[in-house]
Amino acid sequence: MIFDQARWTDDDGERYEPLLSEKRSREVEPSDDDPLPDDLTRESLELPDASEPELARHYTRLSEMNYGVESGPFPLGSCTMKYNPKFTEDIAADPAGHVHPDRPDGSVQGVLELQYRLQDYLGRIGGMDAVTLQPPAGAAGEFAGILVAKAYHESRDDDRSEVVIPDSAHGTNFASAAMAGYDVVNLPSGDDGRVNLEALEAALSEETAALMLTNPNTLGLFERDIERIAELVHDVGGLLYYDGANLNALLGRVRPGDMGFDVMHYNVHKTFATPHGGGGPGAGPVGVVEELREFLPDPHVRAVEDDDADGGTRYETYTPERSVGKVHGYQGNWLVLEKAYAYIARLGDPGLADASAKAVLNANYLAEQVEYETPFGPFHHEFVASAGEQDAADAAKRMLDYGVHPPTTKWPEIVSEALMTEPTEVESRRTLDQLADAFNAVHAEDDETLEAAPERTAARRIDQVTAAREPRLSWQALDREE
Amino acid sequence: MRSDERGSPFAPHTAEETEAMLDAVGVADEEALFDVPDAVRFDGEFGIEPRSERAVREEVGATLARNEDLTEFLGRGHYAHYVPSMVAHLSDRSEFLTSYTQYQPEVAQGFLQALFEYQSMLVELTGLPVANCSMYDAATALGEAATLASRVRQTTGTRVLVPEHLQEGRRAVLENYITGSDLTVESYPMADGNADLDALAEQVDDETVLLYAENPTVRGCIEESLADLGTLADEHEALFTLGSDPVALSVLEAPAEVGADVVVGDCSLGLPTAYGMGLGLFACREEFLRQVPGRLVGASEDDAGRRAYTLTLQTREQHIRRERATSNICTNQAWVALRAAMHVASLGPGGLRELANDCVRYARDLAAELDDVVGLRAPVHDRHHLREFTVRTDQPAGAVAADLAAEGFAVHTLDDHLLQVCVTDANADATDDLVAAFEEVAR
């Protein structure tokens, strides 16, 4: 047992924390001292009104009802839930970096220099010639990258309407391509779980603006035919887009640029260990080859030699010549980028290469230990096991009772009842053995046991159907029912 | 213990463990695990030197020290408000900070409840019944409002109308978000810092799918004809979308009361100014529920009959609907939303309103003082202001701003003779110094 929420209960033996609104609320109305006239102001405002000690306990209790990377292993496939080093939090907390985005460049040379260096580091790691830091998440990076591809084609008076995407791709690929105005062409996987070259040839045409691919793919398999894939895409005049979600498997071994990719995004909250924060903020920098540099979002940071500046280099923002414009109101999630810079600087060449080595070793070691069938292979950073006759979602709920976070379930659909598992490099052999024990204990159990799970969590199995059928999305909605 | 005593400091493997694991897998070394053709193998170096934790901290600290120490009187959508210490300490608890999207709600009740509370606070502040649990920022939220409008409108139409005075990034992002639709963006004129209602009435027609207004406007003016704008939009079945922020919403007319269909904005609470990193708000009417972008937390019950929370209505989202999803947003700003909720809770309704009212007084008083300075007129617009206002200069505005920077103050330059100044609780104690600096440079 690694993590057990059943140990914690309140005075009544309940694993429950009241809503703030149930603790203490207050309605405040305008007073005669208010500086604005009545016709411009609201009549009243009611919000929770708890004291600081009450709030401290509230949020501490809520944190105890939540599972993070430091609670235990978090082998959620395709999400790369790594340990997030502490020192990067101190760096992001430094008020020297807390500046307003509208400051003139000359007064924020520190911020711009770090951004420039991060652009440079990411370019080297990805084999890309230029990198923009603006997109505030991976999906925003996909959108920016596809806009760049679109602008490139349009600059050549080449009107293309389609983006090809394998069926195993992340759902965001499809949505991002659609947002950019493209029709999506679905590419079915081959029998070995990889891109089928014949199917690819059939999907490609003069209408193909890009192929969006992650490599290794979501089954943890390296697309060995990547050179041929790149050739086919380039032959029809399309661009090759790299979804960086699985980059953690390749650091120092292969670079997307060297595989023929023209544009890519990086998920710094995955590969570069910035905290996921319960679903953001992330950051999704985009790298491109030289030909696409002029289309990058506005602004981009560059270095200018300047004898007057400290160290002879000045950093400035500029608008690339044929920029696609903006995908974020300002310059993305700066504090997240600062943490990513610090992480990369800490690891350097040997640390980055070792991170991938251990991530791949851990995935293969764990795949070896679990008794569920693991089709395909050999695996890189993650593997997809099949729960077989079991329901993968039920198996996952039961794993919670063994104190571990379960894998991603039921996706990709190529494997029936998929358990998509990515342990990352930060787990020790001992933890992997504990994880395998949990997998194997669940593997041996009957459906009745699985369906009754979980028991040792803050909440028992939650009724998802009612939540969607009768949506109650606020405490006001709960109050109306009573 | 280090990974083989040389590699990643965050991989726990000893050399012995690595050997044993390689044996178990049945390969000779780690390189054999990489199923990569030789032709694409990278055998070079990135050229990135590893550094100690201490060295990285010192390096970043020394680099950030190159930032000039300016007192910022900057706003235009991104605002500095003091963030109570409690917010950082509690949000930094690792169970929150290092958790993922709540795909297993039974072990994520804490974050889900906090996000449910965040949504509820927005429901109270906007009066609209549905709020999602975050967008990236105001600009992307506005973009999502436009694509929502194109999906929900019963009749055809392509026009999105936005104020001519709009933060530049918001317009630019909006233009990109509508790439995949047939929408077009047009500006409507402003009159003395507010929407020019007469001109707008001429401009809006049945082809208009969305009418966007802000309160306060980007120049800090409080919009005085919100209800009329709402009626105008309603007459043409256009979605009335209002941009605001929680501090402003705590005192200004409630959006639902003036007919708003959607509210977007930047939160401006919970985080310091972070070079533009923020939190986008999105709230709307109930009838758009199944078209809302982003994640929603709902209340349900668990098997024991207790109230429990879960992400819900995921059939709208990209991992299920793929190219037919309402939006591509996946990772959002959840942790910032948590911080914003903590900040609002720590202020309480009284504290939040006091903060907003203080910002009205600060702006009013500072504008009056600057108006007394030779060579300046402020506020330019004869309106009530919240946090910020514009200043007309006799001297070229760019030169005045540069001279102020030399004195240690940052303000916005809008055009040849127009500056903008923003004052909040974060810089209110420096206004006397700012006025003195203006007296030096504005004449």
Distance (Å, whole) CA A259 – CA A250: 12
The helix or strand, by DSSP H or E, that contains position A399, with its residue range, turns out to be helix A392-401
User: What residues in B contact A105, CB-CB < 8 Å?
Assistant: none
Q: Is some CB atom of chain B closer than 8 A to the CB atom of A422?
A: no
Are A472 and B412 an interchain contact pair (Cβ–Cβ within 8 Å)?
Answer: no
Residue percentage of chain B with pLDDT more than 70: 99
Token pair belonging to B278: 């923020």
Q: How many CB atoms lie within 10 A of CB A308?
A: 6
Please determine, for residue B204, whether its predicted confidence score (pLDDT) is greater than 50. yes
**CB of B383 closer than 8 Å to CB of B214:** no
Strand order across the beta sheet in which A183-187 lies: A130-132, A286-288, A263-266, A239-244, A208-213, A162-166, A183-187
Please determine, for residue B3, whether its predicted confidence score (pLDDT) is greater than 90. no
Size (chain A), residues: 482
**For B295, phi and psi rounded to 5 degrees?**
-90, 145
SS (H, E, C) A28-96: ECCCCCCCCCHHHECCCEEEECCCHHHHHHHHHHHHHCECCCCCCCCCECCCCCCCCCCHHHHHHCCHH
Distance (Å, whole) CA B291 – CA B247: 27
- Label residue B436 exposed, middle or buried (CB < 10 Å: 0-12, 13-18, 19+): exposed
Please determine, for residue B122, whether its predicted confidence score (pLDDT) is greater than 70. yes
Distance (Å, whole) CA B215 – CA A235: 52
Interface with chain A: mutation pick from B1, B27, B29, B42, highest number of A CBs within 10 Å = B42
User: What residues in B contact A102, CB-CB < 8 Å?
Assistant: 74, 76, 78, 410, 412
Q: Report how far apart the first and last C-alpha atoms of chain A are (Å, whole number).
A: 39
**For A397, phi and psi rounded to 5 degrees?**
-60, -35
Mean pLDDT for chain A overall: 95
Quote the pLDDT of residue A88. Answer: 98
Are A68 and B173 an interchain contact pair (Cβ–Cβ within 8 Å)?
Answer: no
Put simply, the chain B residues between 304 and 323 with a CB less than 8 A from any chain A CB are 304, 306-310, 312-315, 317-323
User: What residues in A contact B361, CB-CB < 8 Å?
Assistant: 35
Distance (Å, whole) CA A7 – CA A3: 9
- Label residue A404 exposed, middle or buried (CB < 10 Å: 0-12, 13-18, 19+): buried
Q: Is the pTM of this model over 0.95?
A: yes
Distance (Å, whole) CA A101 – CA A328: 12
Q: Is some CB atom of chain A closer than 8 A to the CB atom of B110?
A: yes
pLDDT digits (tens, 9 = 90+) for A270-279: 999 999 999 9
Which residues have C-beta within 8 Å of that of residue B31, sequence separation ≥ 6? A357
Please determine, for residue A431, whether its predicted confidence score (pLDDT) is greater than 80. yes
Distance (Å, whole) CA A237 – CA A240: 10
Paired with B388 in beta bridges are: B422
Quote the pLDDT of residue A311. Answer: 66
Q: How confident is the model over A172-177, as a mean pLDDT?
A: 96
Nearest one of A64, A87, A67 to B90, comparing CA atoms? A64
Q: Choose the weakest-confidence range: A51-65, A302-316, B158-172.
A: A302-316
Distance (Å, whole) CA A287 – CA A148: 10
Please determine, for residue B63, whether its predicted confidence score (pLDDT) is greater than 50. yes
**CB of A130 closer than 8 Å to CB of A293:** yes
Are A355 and B8 an interchain contact pair (Cβ–Cβ within 8 Å)?
Answer: yes
Please determine, for residue A258, whether its predicted confidence score (pLDDT) is greater than 50. yes
Q: Can you count the helices (H) and strands (E) in chain A? A: 15, 14
Put simply, the chain B residues between 389 and 408 with a CB less than 8 A from any chain A CB are 405
User: From the list A67, A346, A360, which residue is nearest B53 (CB)?
Assistant: A346
Quote the pLDDT of residue B315. Answer: 87
Are B96 and A277 an interchain contact pair (Cβ–Cβ within 8 Å)?
Answer: yes
DSSP secondary structure of A420-458: EE---TT--HHHHHHHHHHHHHHHTS-HHHHHH---SSS
**CB of A340 closer than 8 Å to CB of B60:** no
**CB of A453 closer than 8 Å to CB of A447:** no
Quote the pLDDT of residue A28. Answer: 97
**CB of A211 closer than 8 Å to CB of A201:** no
Please determine, for residue B1, whether its predicted confidence score (pLDDT) is greater than 50. no
Q: Is some CB atom of chain B closer than 8 A to the CB atom of A150?
A: yes
Give the pLDDT band of residue A306 (cuts 50, 70, 90).
confident
Q: Is the peptide bond before B379 cis (omega within 30 degrees of 0)?
A: yes
Q: How confident is the model over A218-234, as a mean pLDDT?
A: 97
CA distances in angstroms from B283 to A280, B245, B277, listed in the order given: 19, 12, 20
Quote the pLDDT of residue B153. Answer: 82
Give the pLDDT band of residue B376 (cuts 50, 70, 90).
very high
